[in-house]
Amino acid sequence: MKLLTILIAAAALLLVLVLGGAFYTVRETDTVILTQFGRPVGDPITEPGLHWKTPFVQEVHRLDKRLLDFDGAVTQMPTKDKTYIEVDTFARWRIGDPAKYFVTLRDERSADSRLEDIIGSEVRSAVAAHELIEIIRSDKSRTVAPEQREQGTVTSELRTARRGRLQLERDVLAASAPKLMSLGIELLDVRIKRVNYNADVLPRIYQRMISERQQIAQRFRSEGEGEAARIQGRKERDLREIESIAYKQVQETRGGADAEATRIYAEAYDQSPASRELFTFLKTMDTYRGVLDGRTNLVLSTDSELFRLFKTMAR
């Protein structure tokens, strides 16, 4: 009976411990803070496994020890040159001091609120202290494109950055990290995700961009038309030169051929008086053939060279 009573008592005690939450587990991604009547007790527990706590008295609070992200709200702010822009930022952070974090913030909702306040304030200060070009350009080594540099209005507005957005982000990180460290937060990185103009001025900005692109396109078209005119002029000049050279060669060939034909005719018809007379006769007939037709009327004098052959034929 005593053994049975002991077993029943042990089972009852174990049941009380289990129901009262005397045991809890710690995951690899968690840090556990134990509180007793609302106050933290002991050191933060980071070792994974099964752990013991006082039932009904102590309470388990879990904190994520992985890298966490903060995505800030889009905020309107002015630059140094009085240009209103919308800036969207994000950051990466983790719980650096779990005990301090739990006492000051308790949960991620409160942490996001403090991150928004501190990072947002530093971003506004950095933007207000620099001109628009410093926020747009990622680093100071980037320059304006050559086709934009030739446009006077673009050059006056897009000057070379002296520091660049990357350096501004490093400044915000350096200024925000100490303030968040006092809350138990270790800030790892801050980035500007997006920069946009104020919605009220966007139509004017777009219209100016369109105008600038149209000016550049018109310049390209003008240069193309000028180059096309020069190519067309060279083509016409080359064609005239080719035609002139070809005409010269044709005339030279034709003249040489006529000279050779004349030489052959002269050699053929200068063999004897009879051949010369035959040549004269043929040439005269060619002349008649070219001058006379069925409807031609000629009035010739009797001593005309053209009439001489008629007189000879009459004999």
Q: Looking at residue 156, what is its pLDDT? A: 43
d(CA 29, CA 64): 6
Domain that holds residue 15: 2-63
Model pLDDT for residues 61-115, shown as the tens digit of each residue: 999 989 999 998 999 899 998 888 999 999 999 999 999 999 999 889 999 999 9
The answer on 108 and 232 residing in a single domain is no
Q: Looking at residue 311, what is its pLDDT? A: 65
Residues 111 and 185: beta-carbon distance below 8 Å: yes
Coil, strand or helix: which one is 60? strand
> What spatial distance separates the first Cα and last Cα of the chain, rounded to whole Å?
184
The answer on 142 and 47 residing in a single domain is no
Q: Looking at residue 157, what is its pLDDT? A: 47
Does residue 301 lie in a domain region?
no
Q: What single letter denotes the amino acid at residue 263?
A: R
Rounded average pLDDT over 267-278: 77
Model pLDDT for residues 140-182, shown as the tens digit of each residue: 665 655 555 554 444 444 567 788 889 999 999 999 999 999 9
The owner of tokens 């053939």 is 289
The answer on 195 and 119 residing in a single domain is yes
Is residue 5 pLDDT above 80, yes or no? no
246 vs 265: which has the higher pLDDT: 246
Q: Looking at residue 19, what is its pLDDT? A: 54
Nearest Cα neighbor of 168 from 80, 249, 234, 96 is: 80
Average pLDDT score, the chain: 83
Nearest Cα neighbor of 102 from 34, 47, 54 is: 34
The answer on 264 and 166 residing in a single domain is no
d(CA 255, CA 105): 110
Look at the chain and report how many structural domains it folds into.
3
148: left (phi over 0), alpha (psi -120 to 50) or beta: alpha
Q: Looking at residue 39, what is its pLDDT? A: 87
The answer on 130 and 87 residing in a single domain is yes
d(CA 179, CA 201): 35
